[in-house]
């Protein structure tokens, strides 16, 4: 019988994943720089930290380090690079755009992981092919959306940088 969760760490990982998807989606949709955006953003970061810590503790797929662990390393860096401009906003000229860009890709990467996870659950399909297609597909769509909105987002982030920099 097929099981979504194999142990307690897996359950914590699943709950953190769902929370991160909800908070990440919400924070992308919200008006940037508001108290609600900031609060929801910290919930996203907290759920991602739990998700990433537990990801490095799960080995039931291969019994050793696997492809999702490599993606977790990339995700860790996008999350850290997304938060760094917040804490260094007085030292970084375009901190709001850097924060937004890395956090955007953090959420898009999370979508990619979600779709990859779902695709690998389809019986009798090539595992690595499904992971590759799912991840690439989500990242391409994310890149297209980012490209179409980049000018608008640059302008918006410049205004936020000006408002919140000291």
| Assigned domain for 91 exists | yes
Average pLDDT over the chain reads: 88
**The CA-based dihedral angle spanning residues 34, 38, 44, 50, taken in that order and rounded to the nearest 10 degrees:** -170
| Assigned domain for 1 exists | no
Q: Judging by beta carbons within 10 Å of its beta carbon (0-12, 13-18, 19+), is residue 157 exposed, middle or buried? A: buried
Taking alpha carbons only, the member of 48, 41, 42 closest to residue 18 is 48
| Assigned domain for 120 exists | yes
Look up the domain containing 76 and give its range: 8-164
| Assigned domain for 105 exists | yes
For the stretch 71-96, pLDDT in tens is 899 999 999 999 999 999 889 888 99
| Assigned domain for 3 exists | no
For the stretch 106-142, pLDDT in tens is 999 999 999 988 887 777 777 777 778 888 999 999 9
**Helix spans in the chain (H):** 8-29, 35-55, 67-87, 95-119, 127-164
Number of domains comprising the chain = 1
| Assigned domain for 15 exists | yes
Largest CA distance in the chain: 58
Give the chain's end-to-end CA distance (angstroms, integer).
Answer: 58
Q: What is the pLDDT of residue 13?
A: 93
| Assigned domain for 110 exists | yes
Q: Per the structure block, which two tokens stand in for 25?
A: 């989606």
| Assigned domain for 55 exists | yes
């Amino acid at each position: 019988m097929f099981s979504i969760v194999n142990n307690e760490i897996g359950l914590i990982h699943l709950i953190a994943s769902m929370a991160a998807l909800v908070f990440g989606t919400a924070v992308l949709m919200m008006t940037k720089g508001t108290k609600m955006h900031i609060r929801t953003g910290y919930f996203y970061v907290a759920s991602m930290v739990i998700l990433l810590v537990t990801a490095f503790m799960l080995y039931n797929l291969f019994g050793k380090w696997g492809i999702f662990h490599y993606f977790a390393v990339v995700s860790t860096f996008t999350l850290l690079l997304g938060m760094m401009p917040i804490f260094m906003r007085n030292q970084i000229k375009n901190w709001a755009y850097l924060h937004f860009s890395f956090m955007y890709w953090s959420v898009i990467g999370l979508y990619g992981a979600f779709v990859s996870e779902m695709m690998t659950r389809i019986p009798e399909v090539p595992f690595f092919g499904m992971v590759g297609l799912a991840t690439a597909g989500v990242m391409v769509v994310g890149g297209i959306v980012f490209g179409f909105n980049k000018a608008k987002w640059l302008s918006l982030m410049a205004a936020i940088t000006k408002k919140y920099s000291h």
